[in-house]
Amino acid sequence: MTKTILDADGDVVVYGRGRMGGKGAGLARIAEGPVLRARKLPTRILTTSIYDRYLELGGRFAAGDVRTLAGILGELGGTPISIRSSATDEAGITEGGTAVLRAGENASFMLPNNHPEPGRRFGQFLLAVHFIYQDFLRKQPPGGGEKMAVVINPIPGVHEETDAGPIYFPLVSGVANSHFPYALKNQDPRDGFARIAFGHGYATVLDQFPVISVATIRDPVPLKMMGPGQRQFYALDMTKNETLSGQELETIRLLHVRFAPRSRREPLGLDKDTITFAGPVEEDRFGFRTGLIEVMDALRAQISGEFQIEFVFNLVPGSDGPEGVFHIVQLTQFPEFSHEPLLFPDPPGRVFIATRSFQGHGVKRDIRAAVVVSPFRYRADRRIEVKARIAETNAAFRAKGERFILVVPGRLGSGNAAWGIPVAFRDVDQAAAIFEYGVDVAGRAEPLHEPEELSKGGVYGSHFLYMIQGGYDEDQKRLRTRMYGTQGTHFLTNLVGHNIIYGFLSPLEDTLDPWLFKSDEGDGAAAVRTFPRPVTIMADSTVPRCIVAESA
């Protein structure tokens, strides 16, 4: 029953009279105009009016809506499909413009849609929509006014019979941002960056294992400087085609890349069992890099302000060999923040934190407290305890209507438990600024050597991955450049969208006042520290310079 989708080009059909939600509005916007080098993904949107009827009927679908869903599935045939949440506070876009951004907080599902019995396929499809609604309802605060729409798309990709069983996946999935805040002096930040992976896009937004960063898109740093490459990938398990229990990744398998056919891996660049992406990025094989530049340029011409896309890239037969095809699967538009240069006090008051490695811009005043995770008390096996403490403290600050500064071992929000504290954005959304440090803050030189499966930057790594850039001649070998490659995750997207200052602290280069780690008797690994006097956060991305100092 499986139909492989590589070159689909389709329209957007909206069902119901309600709102389309963030993802739906983004895809509808893409459909309005031409996007060179990207085909338009067939899109079906269930607006919030269908969700409203579902609630009115006590968690059941109206008969007319069941017929609508059956018609959509029949139209898509035996194609693997994604059923994705499109909440009204998601993806930064509404029908009327930009909105509050809350990415990645709601469940979505990918379905094989290949069961020989149409009734089984429809049953799983209906369950996916039901579980999206239920997951959303569980997360809503009392009296919350947000609603849920649903976006349904075919998944562009290929079906393969492998030693791990039948699987389906896009050749490349990626996240691309229009602005790269850590460009080198000879790079233009508006060239943007991308984070790409072999297989399904969960690898780019969940941050569970190393993938490839392209910084910048137009003028990338050599990939061998950015890490070893990719050794694992996500694929849709085509045998999980009968039912659902409500777990978002239950139809997805995490496999070593050697389970994918070599014919799929080799065009991307291979180093033993590692996918390097040298082919599409450095050699522009199949027009990948130039095509992505054209896609981003076309969108920039249509969109004011900065934005992010999620995309897939596959190969189709062409007259002169395989040709690359892009599909955009999501558009996120960031709110427009002022980037006017700041006037720093000279001299400032007592400086608790200072760094040039950060993202965000602006002034945040009258901050009275810091939530600090001590490098002397924290251990990886305490990450769940510390996560709960941070979430509890964040809720207390929310109730008081106050903001705080968070100082933690990176890599915050990662799905990889070995890399840091696995908070969700809602656990830290009262933070005015977040600063990560590696374990080296305790006094050891950096970078620490670590196993290959971990990221660069200390045992706990950092969202701001760094590396020492070598080169092909002595001048380049003397150039030490920090690269901040791990971008594009849902967690970081939310931080950027809310202009939460987010920085990485190097013990050899930045200021970190030891007072922050001064412990009182009975303190746990996470403690609340009240500043002697209120502090001001000043972050100027045009310099760049960020300080946390006592207010004048």
CA 85 to chain centre: 15
Decide: residue 142, CB within 10 A, 0-12 exposed, 13-18 middle, 19+ buried: exposed
Mean pLDDT, residues 341-345 taken together: 92
Residue 346 host element (H or E): none
The pLDDT of residue 81 is 97
The pLDDT of residue 299 is 92
The pLDDT of residue 254 is 95
Residues 146, 89 contacting (CB under 8 angstroms): yes
Distances (CA, A) of 121 to 126, 239, 377: 9, 12, 51
The pLDDT of residue 442 is 45
Decide: residue 392, CB within 10 A, 0-12 exposed, 13-18 middle, 19+ buried: exposed
Cα–Cα distance for residue pair 82/121, rounded to 1 Å: 13
Tokens of 281: 């990025």
Cα–Cα distance for residue pair 11/31, rounded to 1 Å: 7
The pLDDT of residue 467 is 30
Cα–Cα distance for residue pair 482/411, rounded to 1 Å: 16
Query: Which pLDDT band, with edges at 50, 70 and 90, does 302 fall under?
Result: confident
Angle, helices 63-76/118-139, rounded to nearest 10 degrees: 120
Out of 354-358, 388-392, 478-482, the most confident range is 388-392
Q: Tens digits of per-residue pLDDT, 191-235?
A: 988 989 999 998 888 777 888 888 889 998 888 776 678 999 999
Mean pLDDT, residues 120-134 taken together: 97
Residue 375 pLDDT greater than 50, yes or no: yes
The pLDDT of residue 362 is 92
The pLDDT of residue 52 is 96
Distances (CA, A) of 189 to 114, 192, 310: 44, 6, 19
Residue 245 pLDDT greater than 60, yes or no: yes
Q: Tens digits of per-residue pLDDT, 378-395?
A: 877 888 999 999 999 999
Mean pLDDT, residues 431-440 taken together: 81
Residue carrying the six token digits 């996007």: 35
The pLDDT of residue 211 is 86
Mean pLDDT, residues 108-130 taken together: 96
The pLDDT of residue 448 is 36
Q: Which residues pair with 13 in a beta bridge?
A: 44
Cα–Cα distance for residue pair 375/294, rounded to 1 Å: 45
Q: Tens digits of per-residue pLDDT, 419-430?
A: 778 888 889 999
The pLDDT of residue 90 is 63
Query: Which pLDDT band, with edges at 50, 70 and 90, does 325 fall under?
Result: very high
The pLDDT of residue 293 is 96
Residue 305 pLDDT greater than 60, yes or no: yes
Is the sign of the CA dihedral 258, 198, 6, 241 positive or negative? Answer: positive
Out of 65-74, 91-100, 330-339, 482-491, the most confident range is 65-74
The pLDDT of residue 417 is 66
Percent helix, strand and coil across the chain, each rounded to 5? 25, 30, 45
Contacts of 89 (CB under 8 A, 6+ apart): 22, 99, 100, 101, 102, 146
CA angle (202, 207, 209) in 5-degree steps:
95
Mean pLDDT, residues 38-44 taken together: 88
Higher pLDDT, 508 or 9: 508
The CA radius of gyration of the chain, in Å to the nearest whole number, is 23
The pLDDT of residue 233 is 96
The pLDDT of residue 550 is 94
Mean pLDDT, residues 467-480 taken together: 31
Contacts of 103 (CB under 8 A, 6+ apart): 90, 91, 92, 332, 490, 493, 494, 497
Q: What is the mean pLDDT of the chain?
A: 83
Decide: residue 195, CB within 10 A, 0-12 exposed, 13-18 middle, 19+ buried: buried
Residues 430, 397 contacting (CB under 8 angstroms): yes
Query: Which pLDDT band, with edges at 50, 70 and 90, does 109 fall under?
Result: very high
Distances (CA, A) of 331 to 9, 117, 289, 320: 17, 35, 19, 32
Higher pLDDT, 104 or 179: 179
Type of residue found at 10: G
Listed in sequence order, the DSSP H helices in 479-541 are 490-497
Q: Tens digits of per-residue pLDDT, 498-531?
A: 889 988 787 667 888 989 988 776 668 899 999 9
The pLDDT of residue 282 is 94
The pLDDT of residue 456 is 36
Tokens of 533: 């006097």
Name the nearest CA neighbour of 101 among 510, 499, 542: 499
Residue carrying the six token digits 């699967």: 329
How many angstroms separate the first and last alpha carbons of the chain?
69
Say how many residues make up the chain: 552
DSSP per position, 209-224: S--EEEESSSSPPPGG
Contacts of 490 (CB under 8 A, 6+ apart): 103, 104, 105, 205, 206, 425
Q: Three-state SS across 10-33?
A: CCEEEECCCCCHHHHHHHHHHHHC
Higher pLDDT, 338 or 365: 365
Cα–Cα distance for residue pair 273/231, rounded to 1 Å: 7
The pLDDT of residue 9 is 57
The pLDDT of residue 404 is 98
Query: Which pLDDT band, with edges at 50, 70 and 90, does 458 fall under?
Result: very low
Residue 61 pLDDT greater than 90, yes or no: yes
Decide: residue 4, CB within 10 A, 0-12 exposed, 13-18 middle, 19+ buried: middle
Mean pLDDT, residues 305-324 taken together: 89
Mean pLDDT, residues 150-166 taken together: 95
Q: List, in sequence order, every beta strand (DSSP E) within 78-221.
A: 81-87, 93-94, 97-98, 109-111, 148-154, 158-162, 165-169, 172-177, 193-198, 212-215
